[in-house]
Structure formats: C-alpha cells, structure tokens
Amino acid sequence: MKNTIAAVVAVLMTTAIVHAQKVNTDSDPAAPFATYKTYAWTAGTPAPNALNEQRLHAAVDAKLAGEGLAMNTTAPDVIVATHVTTKEKQELIANGFGYGPWGFGGGFGGATVETFVEGTMIVDLYDAKTKKMVWRGVATATASDKPTKNTDKMNKALDKMFEKYPGAAVATTGN
C-alpha cells in the first residue's frame, strides 16, 4: 500500500514538472546596459488574442520603467519586440499501476492522451544604434482557458525574466 501511495505521488509530481513554467534569459555581456535610458516598440509576433497582446505590452512597459527606461519613440536607446506563439500538444498519461483494488493482484492499468496548449512568450531588446540584439527573455508554459490565469502566468514569467535583466546590476556596480 505504501508503494502505491508513493507511486501516485511520484506521478503527480512528474505531471506538475512537465507543465511547469520555464523561463530563460540571455544577454550580450558587451552591451552598455547602464547607458540605456529610453525605448520604443517595433512589430513582433502578436498574441493570438489582441487583449493579451495589450496586457503583454503594458506589463513590459511597467518592467522597463522599473529598470529606469522611459518610452521615447523619436530617439530610443533600445528597441523592444515581443513574440507570442501557441502550439497544441499531446501527452500520454498513465492511468494505473497494475495493482488490484487492495494493493495486489491484477491491474487496472491503461493510458489516456491529454491535449493542451503550450504558449511561448519572447521579449527581445535591440540596441537602437547597432541594431544588434542585446537581451532576450523566453517563457514557456501551459495556456489556460481562463484569461486571468494566463495574465498571472505572463506576469510571473516577466518577473522572472526581468530579475535577470543586467541593466540594474551594471548600473549598481558601475558606481
């Protein structure tokens, strides 16, 4: 019986890990992040839902403001683009462990296929003078049917991304 409970817990934990949000960032270590003070938007790959695109741009605006950057469409230091894609995926889920109803004997094993939507959100920053990419944040997570859940996931992903934004660290160590 203890083995059955342990197996159930292990499967549940594995399923949670498979659907966990993944966030990665990368940056050009030679980019002068401490000098970036302004930004402007350029076209990217819009979210399938226009409201989600508006939420994403507003959230990125807030994150950039938190890093000390202000919107300037005439002479920006950095150009910002976002890309959002979704993809339907399938996962095989095991429905049993081959145990009988009292922990022994024949099994009630089987499997089902779960279909879900995986979303990927990318935030790119380009140096406006050199036109070279200087920073990228990428987040991947399972999308929900509920807009509030997707907004929460987006905000958490942006929090994780901008924790690794090198601008504040460079500005702090340069003083």
Select the more confidently predicted residue: 69 or 86: 69
Strand order in the sheet with 111-127: 22-27, 133-142, 111-127, 78-94, 38-41, 70-71
In this structure, are residues 167 and 135 in contact, taking their beta carbons and an 8 Å threshold? no
The per-residue pLDDT for 71 is 95
Tens of pLDDT along 6-51?
333 333 333 333 457 788 899 999 999 999 999 999 998 888 788 8
pLDDT band of 148, cuts 50, 70, 90: confident
Whether 65 has a pLDDT exceeding 60, the answer reads yes
Q: List domains and CATH numbers for the chain.
A: 2-173 (3.30.160.670)
Report pLDDT for 168. Answer: 55
Q: Encoding tokens for residue 75?
A: 């002479």
DSSP string of 112-154, one letter each residue: EEEEEEEEEEEEEEEETTT--EEEEEEEEEE--SSHHHHHHHH
Q: Is the pLDDT at 69 greater than 90, yes or no?
A: yes
Q: How far apart are CA 172 and CA 64, in angstroms?
A: 16
Residues 6+ apart with CB under 8 A from 35: 77
Whole-number Å distance between alpha carbons of 151 and 147: 6
pLDDT grade, residue 107 (50/70/90)? low
Q: Does pLDDT of 106 surpass 90?
A: no
* Phi–psi pair at 165, nearest 5 degrees: -70, 125
Average pLDDT score over residue span 60-89: 90
